[in-house]
């Protein structure tokens, strides 16, 4: 057996982590022969709940789970980690302004960035899930300057999976027969779910998704709105935010980063280098491919229609506004 991969999960007493930890520990993410050391970080008032989570993980008797370390100490949590799954964040409470949410999360991710910089391996892969995920990822990257910027990402795979599922449902095909759905921009209601380059297998034939759907109005309206607002729809129905689907998307994101995507495209929030006219330095979701060397590369050469350009620019504008707001708190 190889040395354990040390994986940190923050917000570890929360409902997303509760759906996530078992999948990581049993080998769904890093492989069925890879031992795992789990580090579970949460705030001090959640330690009793976290003890219960640890007991359950122990009681699963998982052969790959080398150890479980619960803690409220950031320095201990980030020590020598290989992967950081930053699920915990300040949730938006009733009556809270967006700027107040940004301010609260800037404080959290500034502190975690300093701990990451001081204690984690320099090869650490970081996935930010806690919202606003794109801007939180940008903040933590700012405060961990010794970690390469390419090692930071935020989760938009949930949005991609939602888009894929909507197309599959529309056409009455399985999810595996829908490929190359793209999420551009922010993990928010301004995101742009794009089917212009998507392909589907229908009746044994590979064809453009839009050709198979035969309904441009649905593609440009209902489809986009459904994906953009799906998180809110889940909350409306469950009275709780997405947990099972979010955990599955985190697993998909990390597994593809760890092992590579092959010829598949996946959506992932990464720091822009200017591709497709997106401002450098923004944490923006692009279609990417990942090699076995774990290097993430934006899919090049895609034709961008005027409709797509407008949507991509709108979500970029929101990200610029979020970034400016968040960084103004850092300067205060």
- The CATH code of the domain that includes 87 is 3.40.50.720
Are residues 198 and 247 located together in one domain of the fold?
yes
| 186 annotated to bind ligand | no
State residue 48's pLDDT score. 97
Task: Give tens-digit pLDDT for 36-74.
Answer: 999 999 999 999 999 999 999 999 999 999 999 999 999
CB hemisphere CA count around 284 (13 angstroms): 26
| 131 annotated to bind ligand | yes
Give me the residues paired with residue 128 across strands. 86, 154
Are residues 200 and 283 located together in one domain of the fold?
yes
Q: Kindly give the parts of the chain with pLDDT less than 70.
A: 1, 332
Task: Give tens-digit pLDDT for 197-221.
Answer: 999 999 999 999 999 999 999 999 9
Domain C-terminal end among 121, 154, 187: 154
| 162 annotated to bind ligand | yes
State residue 163's pLDDT score. 98
Other residues' Cβ atoms within 10 Å of the Cβ of residue 2: 9
Query: Would you name the residues annotated as active-site residues?
Result: 187
As given in the structure block, the two tokens for residue 329 are: 């708190």
**Which residues span the domain enclosing 186?**
156-326
State residue 281's pLDDT score. 97
Peptide bond before residue 284 is cis, with ω within 30 degrees of 0: no
As a whole number of Å, the end-to-end CA separation of the chain is 50
Domain C-terminal end among 97, 126, 154: 154
Examine residue 248 and state whether it is found in any structural domain, yes or no.
yes
State residue 234's pLDDT score. 93
| 221 annotated to bind ligand | no
Tell me how far apart the alpha carbons of residues 327 and 136 are, in angstroms, rounded to a whole number: 11
Burial class (CB in 10 A: 0-12, 13-18, 19+), 327: middle
Are residues 161 and 296 located together in one domain of the fold?
yes
User: For the whole model, what pTM was predicted?
Assistant: 0.97
């Amino acid at each position: 057996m190889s040395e354990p991969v040390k994986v940190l999960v923050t917000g570890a007493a929360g409902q997303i982590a509760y759906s996530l930890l078992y999948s990581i520990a049993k080998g769904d993410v890093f492989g069925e022969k890879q031992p795992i050391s789990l580090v579970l970080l949460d705030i001090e008032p959640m330690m009793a709940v976290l003890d219960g989570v640890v007991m359950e993980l122990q009681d699963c008797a998982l052969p790959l789970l080398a150890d479980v370390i619960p803690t409220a100490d950031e320095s201990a949590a980030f020590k020598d980690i290989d992967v950081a799954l930053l699920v915990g964040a300040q949730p938006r409470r009733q009556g809270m302004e967006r700027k107040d949410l940004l301010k609260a999360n800037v404080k959290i991710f500034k502190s975690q960035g300093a701990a990451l910089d001081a204690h984690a391996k320099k090869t650490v892969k970081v996935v930010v899930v806690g919202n606003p995920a794109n801007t939180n990822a940008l903040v933590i990257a700012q405060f961990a300057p010794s970690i390469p910027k390419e090692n930071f990402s935020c989760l938009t795979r949930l949005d991609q999976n939602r888009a894929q599922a909507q197309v599959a449902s529309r056409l009455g095909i399985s999810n595996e027969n829908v490929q190359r759905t793209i999420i551009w921009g922010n993990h928010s209601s301004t995101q742009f779910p794009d089917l212009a380059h998507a392909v589907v297998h229908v009746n044994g034939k590979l064809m453009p998704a839009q050709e198979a759907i035969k309904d441009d109005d649905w593609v440009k309206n209902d489809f986009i709105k459904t994906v953009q607002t799906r998180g809110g729809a889940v909350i409306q129905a469950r009275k709780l935010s997405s947990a099972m689907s979010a955990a599955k998307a985190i697993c998909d994101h990390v597994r593809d980063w760890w092992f590579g995507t092959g010829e598949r495209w996946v959506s992932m929030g990464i720091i822009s280098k200017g591709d497709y006219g997106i401002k450098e330095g923004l944490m923006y979701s692009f279609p990417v491919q990942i090699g076995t060397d774990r290097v993430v590369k934006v899919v090049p050469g895609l034709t961008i229609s005027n409709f797509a350009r407008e949507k991509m620019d709108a979500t970029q504008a929101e990200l610029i506004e979020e970034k400016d707001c968040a960084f103004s708190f850092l300067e205060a």
